[in-house]
Structures are given as C-alpha cells and as structure tokens.
C-alpha cells in the first residue's frame, strides 16, 4: 500500500471505533471534506443505532459490530434502507477492515486492549495509521514498532499531546525504530496535562470521589474510561509511555507539566534553549484534521484560538501524592518489558470496578501497584507474549478485587 496518495485521489478510510468520541470527531472532519475522503469501513462495538445512522450518511462498503446478533439486525435494517453495506462481526472482521487493500488510512480509535489486534493488522498491511489507541504502544510497544518498521506503515499520532509534539519536532521526522531525536537537537519532551477535575482537591478527600465527579472533565469531552484515567492522571502516564515509543526518548527526558488552560498541548525543548509548542482550542478535531491531511492542512471546524480571552498560561508540577498513577506509569516504563502491559491491564480492571461502584477512587492506584509488585516484567517478543502479560495482569486484578470484597 502506498502511504502517500496522488493529489487527485480521495483518501479511503477505515474508522475503528466510529461511534466513540474520536470516531465521531473523525467523521465530522470527513463530513467537511467529502471531496478528499471516502469512508470504506465503519466499526463499532455495540452502538448499532448510531452505526446505522453513520452508514446512512457515509455509505461505507463495510460495517462491523462486536455482537453477531446485533450485526444481523443492522444488516436487515440497511437492506430495508436500500444500502449495499456489508455487515460483519467480531475481532477477525476488525482485523480485515484494518488491512483492506482498498483502504489507505486507518483511524485506530477503539478504546482499550480490544483495539490492539486491528491496529497491529493495519501496521502489518503497511497502512497510514492515525493512532488514537494507546494500548498498541503501551501494551505492545516493542512488538508494534517493529511491525511498523518492517512493513513500511506510517504512524500519525492523534492524542493531542503527541500530535503537538509531532508538529513541534524537526521537519521530516518519522516514527520508526531508526529515529534519533537527540542527534537532531531535541533535549526534552514536555507533555502538558490539564490536571483533571481534582487538580486542587484535598488529597485526603480523594477517597470519597464518585464516578460522576471523576468523569466531569473541566476542559475535554471524552468517554467515561478515559475521563477517569484523566482524573487519576493515569492517562498522562500512559501518554508518557506512548511518547517513549513514538519518539524514541527515554523516561528521564520526558516531563509532565500541569497546564490547566489546556491550550498549550505539549512542547519540545531543544539543546539551544528553544522551546517549541503547539497551541489551540481543546478540540480533538484539530489533531484529527492534521493527521488526515498531513503534510497538508485542512479546515477542521475548530474555532480559532482567542489568546486575549485565554489571557494567561499557568504551569504547575504534578503532585504524585494526589496522582500516584503518574508515578506508577514512570515506574512501569523504566522497568520495561511487560511492565507497561501489566500497568494497563490492571488499570482497566480497576477503573471498571470504580465505575461499577466496587472500588474507591484512590484504590485504583493501589490495585495497579499491587499488580506491578506481584508480576515481574517478562520480555515481549510476540503478540502472544503481550496477550499473555495482559491476561495475567487481568487475572491478578480480578482475583485481588474478589479477595477485597466483603463476604
């Protein structure tokens, strides 16, 4: 697959996770540029009604749902609407959509470990990957980056922080195993973080936080799981691990800076003292439009940044007493091998338990720390190694949770 397209061609796109927040924003950008983009496949987990409406609007060749019965019902509805879209189901179908020969770009926006296999399939097929799925790098960093390099895939980061760093790096940077930013004058990466809803909260009161409070992010509109990760700052910790793999920078040259306005999305410091930053309103359509059109620029629908309204930029060091998950992520990155996969899996179990009312907010980092303590890092040489580490961490976390529940 050619990663670049002739200027007169429409870019053909698969959207993995089309009904989630990133998927919806992606389709909003595509909607503004129908002359440039053609949606070939839309994939969702369970929101069949939303996927049906998307199919009516974008007429993809394929649609995928997780549940076979829901997929069959969607197919019936599409036939009744006189649409020729073929509906499939399951993980194998997701992998097929990510690797379709007629697709140029894949938006990898399935949340959690479920997005790992299709994102790897896109890399094996040498696709242009718009990477919003953290787990491909957090769980399987060495495996994923090797597959990217061996198959000539192109990685374009969608997380606002990594996209900001990408835009602030020396021209011609490519995310593969051959990159050496130090040789090009890069001293340090500065990932900004809003601090979430509890940036100024009394640490002693955090044990009383409810799921409703945790998902109420002050600046960004996100799904429930990632909103909790933002509240614990695990999301920023996972982004540190991502940055290590995307940009080839060790943990001691990646810093996190609290920036409550969420206008400076990240910064790159150079050896000559320069610091280059990317600014913009907090709206995911900006990095999505950048990645879709790269190296060109297209209109995203995001309002221009009004610096006079922002008026000021504040910066703080993160408080690891308030945000122990951030320290745990750095610990996992330094430990290497399977430790980040353990961190991610235990966190997914802990966050779901918190959302279900089975675990307290400050018990999330406690469970993750227990998993890192109990499961020593193991080398990751293949996808099977990654999945084994993920399964072991989940099994430990579930067992640990069960042991803590009252009889």
DSSP secondary structure letter of residue 206: G
403 to 215, 354, 367, 397, 398: CA distances (angstroms): 27, 16, 12, 10, 9
Cα 403 from Cα 25, distance rounded (Å) = 41
Query: Domain 11-133 falls in which CATH fold?
Result: Rossmann fold (3.40.50)
105 vs 214: CA distance, rounded Å: 34
pLDDT at 216: 81
- The tokens for 23 are 């998927």
CB 88, CB 96: distance < 8 Å: yes
- CATH 3.20.20.370, domain 182-402, yes or no: no
Computed on alpha carbons and rounded to an integer, the radius of gyration of the chain in Å comes to 21
| Domain ranges, ordered by start, for the chain | 11-133, 182-402
Strands (E) across 202-329 are located at 254-258, 264-270, 275-279
pTM listed for this prediction: 0.90
> CA 369 to CA 213: how far, in whole Å?
23
Q: What is the pLDDT of residue 5?
A: 46
For residue 161, give both structure tokens. 């922080």
The reported pLDDT for the residue numbered 183 is 86
Judged by DSSP in three states, 110 sits in coil
Tens digits of pLDDT across the chain (407 residues): 344 444 448 999 999 999 999 999 999 999 999 999 999 999 999 899 999 999 999 999 999 999 999 999 999 999 999 999 999 999 999 999 999 999 999 999 998 778 999 999 999 999 999 999 888 999 999 999 999 999 999 999 999 999 999 999 998 777 655 568 888 899 999 999 998 889 888 888 889 999 999 988 666 656 788 889 989 999 999 999 999 999 999 999 999 999 999 999 999 999 999 999 999 999 999 999 999 999 999 999 999 999 999 999 999 999 988 899 999 999 999 999 999 999 999 999 999 999 999 999 999 999 999 999 999 999 999 999 999 999 999 999 999 999 877 65
């Amino acid at each position: 697959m050619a990663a670049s397209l002739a200027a007169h061609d429409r870019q053909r796109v698969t959207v993995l996770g089309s009904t989630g927040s990133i998927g919806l924003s992606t389709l909003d950008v595509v909607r503004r540029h129908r002359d440039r983009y053609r949606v070939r496949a839309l994939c969702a987990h369970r929101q069949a009604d939303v996927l049906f409406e998307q199919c009516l609007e974008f007429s993809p060749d394929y649609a995928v749902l997780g549940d076979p019965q829901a997929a069959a019902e969607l197919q019936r509805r599409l036939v009744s609407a006189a649409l020729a879209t073929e509906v499939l189901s399951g993980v194998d179908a997701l992998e097929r959509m990510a690797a379709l020969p007629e697709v140029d770009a894949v938006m990898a926006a399935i949340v959690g470990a479920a997005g790992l296999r299709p994102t790897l399939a896109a890399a094996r097929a040498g696709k242009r990957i718009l990477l919003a799925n953290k787990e491909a790098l957090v769980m399987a960093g060495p495996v994923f980056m090797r597959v990217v390099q061996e198959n000539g895939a192109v990685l374009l980061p969608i997380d606002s922080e990594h996209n900001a760093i990408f835009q602030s790096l020396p021209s011609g940077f490519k995310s593969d195993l051959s990159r050496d930013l130090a040789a090009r004058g890069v001293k340090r990466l500065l990932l900004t973080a809003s601090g979430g809803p509890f940036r100024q909260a009394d640490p002693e009161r955090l044990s009383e936080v409810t799921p409703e409070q945790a998902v109420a992010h002050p600046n960004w509109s996100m799904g429930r799981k990632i909103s909790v990760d933002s509240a614990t700052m695990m999301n920023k910790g996972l982004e540190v691990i991502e940055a290590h793999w995307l940009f080839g920078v060790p943990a001691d040259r990646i810093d996190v800076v609290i920036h409550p306005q969420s206008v400076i999305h990240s910064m790159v410091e150079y050896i000559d003292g320069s610091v280059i930053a990317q600014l913009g309103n907090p709206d995911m359509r900006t990095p999505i439009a950048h990645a879709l059109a790269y190296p060109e620029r297209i209109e995203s629908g995001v309002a221009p940044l009004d610096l006079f309204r922002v008026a000021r930029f504040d910066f703080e060091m993160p408080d690891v007493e308030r945000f122990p998950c951030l320290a745990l992520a750095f610990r996992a990155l330094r430990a290497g091998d399977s430790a980040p996969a353990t961190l991610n899996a235990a966190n997914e179990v802990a966050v779901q338990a918190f959302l279900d009312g089975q675990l307290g907010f400050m018990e999330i980092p406690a469970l993750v720390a227990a998993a890192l303590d109990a499961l020593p890092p193991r080398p990751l040489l293949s996808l099977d190694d990654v999945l084994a580490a993920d399964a072991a961490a989940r099994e430990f976390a579930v067992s640990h949770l069960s042991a803590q529940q009252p009889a």
